[in-house]
Structure 1
Amino acid sequence: MGSVQLNSSHLASFSLAPSFSHRSRTRRAHLRPFRSQTSFSRSRIRAVGTVPESGSETAAAEEPPCVNFAFVSSVLLPDGTPDVHLRTACGGQKLRDIMLDSDVELYGPYARPLLNCAGGGTCATCLVEVVQGKELLSPLTDKEKEKLKKKPKNYRLACQTTVGKPDSRGLVVIQQLPEWKAHEWKFEKVSPSESL
Structure 2
Amino acid sequence: MGTLQLSSYALSSFSTSLNFNYITNSHKTLKTSKHPRFSRGKIRAVGTIPENESQSTDPEEPPFVALAFVSSVLLPDGTPDVHFRKACGGQKLRNIMLDSNIELYGPYGRPLLNCAGGGTCATCMVEIVQGKELLTPRTDKEKEKLKKKPKNWRLACQLTVGKKDSTGLLVVQQLPEWKGHEWNYETISPEEYASELGLEFGSESS
Residues paired across the two proteins, number = 169
Once the two structures are TM-superposed, the CA of residue 22 in structure 1 deviates from its matched residue by 2.6
Whole-angstrom distance in 1 between the partners of 2:19 and 2:67? 14
Change (3 A) 1:74 1:191: same
Given that 2:126 and 2:172 are in contact with CA atoms closer than 8 Å, whether structure 1 keeps it comes out as: yes
Does 2:180 match 1:167? no
Amino acid at match of 1:69: L
Whole-angstrom distance in 2 between the partners of 1:194 and 1:98? 23
- Report % sequence identity: 65
Whole-angstrom distance in 2 between the partners of 1:118 and 1:2? 36
**TM-score between the two structures when normalised by the length of structure 1:** 0.71
Whole-angstrom distance in 1 between the partners of 2:171 and 2:112? 29
CA RMSD between the two structures: 3.5
Question: What is the DSSP-based 3-state SS (H/G/I as helix, E as strand, rest coil) of the residue aligned with 1:184?
Answer: strand
Residues 89-129 of structure 1: CA deviation (Å, up to 9, x unaligned): 00000000000111111011111111111100000000000
Of residues 94, 97, 100, the one that matches 1:96 is: 94
**Structure 1 runs not aligned, ≥5 long:** 27-32, 38-48, 51-58
Residues 9-45 of structure 1: CA deviation (Å, up to 9, x unaligned): 982346766764334354xxxxxx697x9xxxxxxxx
Whole-angstrom distance in 1 between the partners of 2:142 and 2:197? 38
Whole-angstrom distance in 1 between the partners of 2:155 and 2:139? 9
Name the structure 1 match of 2:143.
Answer: 145
Whole-angstrom distance in 2 between the partners of 1:191 and 1:163? 19
Change (3 A) 1:123 1:135: same
Change (3 A) 1:194 1:108: closer
**Structure 2 runs not aligned, ≥5 long:** 7-13, 21-31, 187-191, 199-206
Once the two structures are TM-superposed, the CA of residue 183 in structure 1 deviates from its matched residue by 2.2
Of residues 62, 65, 72, the one that matches 2:63 is: 65
Does 2:44 match 1:24? yes
Change (3 A) 1:166 1:65: same
Whole-angstrom distance in 2 between the partners of 1:10 and 1:110? 34
Whole-angstrom distance in 1 between the partners of 2:136 and 2:146? 15
**TM-score between the two structures when normalised by the length of structure 2:** 0.68
Whole-angstrom distance in 2 between the partners of 1:140 and 1:10? 30
Question: What is the DSSP-based 3-state SS (H/G/I as helix, E as strand, rest coil) of the residue aligned with 1:91?
Answer: coil
Name the structure 1 match of 2:112.
Answer: 114
Residues 51-102 of structure 1: CA deviation (Å, up to 9, x unaligned): xxxxxxxx89644200000111100122322100110000000000000111
Whole-angstrom distance in 1 between the partners of 2:171 and 2:125? 14
Whole-angstrom distance in 2 between the partners of 1:120 and 1:175? 21
Given that 1:70 and 1:173 are in contact with CA atoms closer than 8 Å, whether structure 2 keeps it comes out as: yes
Amino acid at match of 2:42: H
Of residues 175, 178, 183, the one that matches 1:177 is: 175
